Amino acid sequence: MTATLTPPTHVLDLRTIPPRDRHPMIFGRFDALATGQALQLVNDHNPQPLRYQFDDRASGQFEWAALEAGPSVWRIQITRIADAEVPSAGPKSDSCCSGGACCG
């Protein structure tokens, strides 16, 4: 059985982006994906450190597929498979003052 890849929503050629801007841009694009959408990255080196960051930051929310693995071009597809969990702040989280009691 062969896995079917989702057509990417965005393709980012990281070779054209300054290194300091790459990871913030990648995570911003990933955060904007709906479940089932994909982001494809093109790079000139193995993005393994980025994979570790995804494992730490978005565990259980993505699938990582290596489409091309060097030696001069790496192409990775990252598919959002689940939304981020939103932490619960309790029943009166609509204000910093226990539901607005101190503001009246």
**27, HSE (Cβ side, Cα atoms, 13 Å):** 14
Give burial (CB, 10 Å; 0-12/13-18/19+) of 49. Answer: exposed
* Better-predicted residue by pLDDT, 48 or 96: 48
Kindly indicate the confidence band of residue 88, based on its pLDDT and cuts at 50, 70 and 90: low
> What is the arithmetic mean of pLDDT over 77-81?
97
Kindly indicate the confidence band of residue 3, based on its pLDDT and cuts at 50, 70 and 90: low
CB 41 within 8 A of CB 76: yes
CATH number, span 10-80: 3.30.110.40
**What pLDDT score does 5 carry?**
72
**What pLDDT score does 87 carry?**
60
User: Which residues are registered as beta bridge partners of 63?
Assistant: 79
Task: Give the separation between CA 3 and CA 91, rounded to whole angstroms.
Answer: 42
Q: What is the pTM of this model?
A: 0.76
For residue 56, the one-letter residue type is D
**What pLDDT score does 80 carry?**
97
The ranges assigned to domains in the chain are 10-80
